Structure 1
Amino acid sequence: MERSYYVYLLANANNRVLYTGVTNNLKRRLFEHKRGLVEGFTKKYRVHKLVYFEETNDVNTAIAREKEIKGWIRAKKNALVEKENSGWSDLSKGWEVDSSLPEK
């Protein structure tokens, strides 16, 4: 069975704060962010709107991509989001998230 890994960008409500992360279960990770179960930056600044994500089958590729994006200036991150999600919508809106179930 092949695993999936995700690089994702979260924004706060007014899109002023961005967070870049990597996970092997995007739905579970968003559940954790949105419920404030993750201590740190995303909880402190209420950064839990999924505005962009990529999927890969290689964990090293995902980690390298996360580091690459984290090194970018804000304008380049904005352009990445706007290319795929010009309205900065929450891409996870309407997802049924049960953190106890593995992602399919």
Structure 2
Amino acid sequence: MAFTYILECSDGSYYVGSTVDLERRIAQHAAGEGAAYTRRRPVKLAWAVQMDSVAEAYLLEKKLQGWSRAKRRCVIEGRYCDLRSNMKDEAVDDGSAPRISTPLRSAQPPGP
């Protein structure tokens, strides 16, 4: 069992990662012990999904890292049907990466 996750940093940017212990990894990021990108930045978990294996979680992490901010936002908001419309400038999914299933946690859409 492993997880792929998206953090939202205080500057509004996204960080994508994978781990076998989601709670511990989020605590590391929050304490400034995570990846260099998330240091000195308050972060919050925007989205996470549990995968069957570390390899699948890592493949999905790499796939999401290559996606635009708009596509990541669709994933965070659970708008999977909108992913196709946000693929204009990106390669079509060749099916090599695992499919995204129901997330463990999603951020609420921004208020009015």
Fold conserved between structures, TM > 0.5: yes
1:8 to 1, 5, 8: 5
User: Is residue 33–residue 48 contact of structure 1 (8 Å, CA) maintained in 2?
Assistant: yes
Q: Which residue in 1 is equivalent to 2:100?
A: none
Q: Which residue in 2 is equivalent to 1:97?
A: none
Q: Structure 2 stretches of 5 or more lacking a match?
A: 79-105
The CA deviation at 1:26 is: 0.3
Q: Which has the higher contact order (CA 8 A, sep 6+)?
A: 1
Q: What is the TM-score when the length of structure 2 is the normalising length?
A: 0.67
Runs of 4+ residues deviating >6 angstroms: none
Change (3 A) 1:39 1:82: closer
Q: CA RMSD in A?
A: 1.7
Q: How many residues align?
A: 83
Q: How does 1:1-104 map to 2 (within 5 A)?
A: 4-13=1-10, 16-44=12-40, 46=41, 48-83=43-78, 84-87=106-109
User: Is residue 19–residue 47 contact of structure 1 (8 Å, CA) maintained in 2?
Assistant: no
Q: Deviations over 1:32-71 (max 9, x none)?
A: 0101122510004x15200000101211111110111011
In structure 2, C-alpha distance between the alignment counterparts of 1:85 and 1:29, rounded to whole Å: 18
Q: Which residue in 2 is equivalent to 1:92?
A: none
2:77 alignment partner, SS class: helix
Q: Percent identity?
A: 29
Q: Structure 1 stretches of 5 or more lacking a match?
A: 89-104
Q: Which residue in 2 is equivalent to 1:98?
A: none
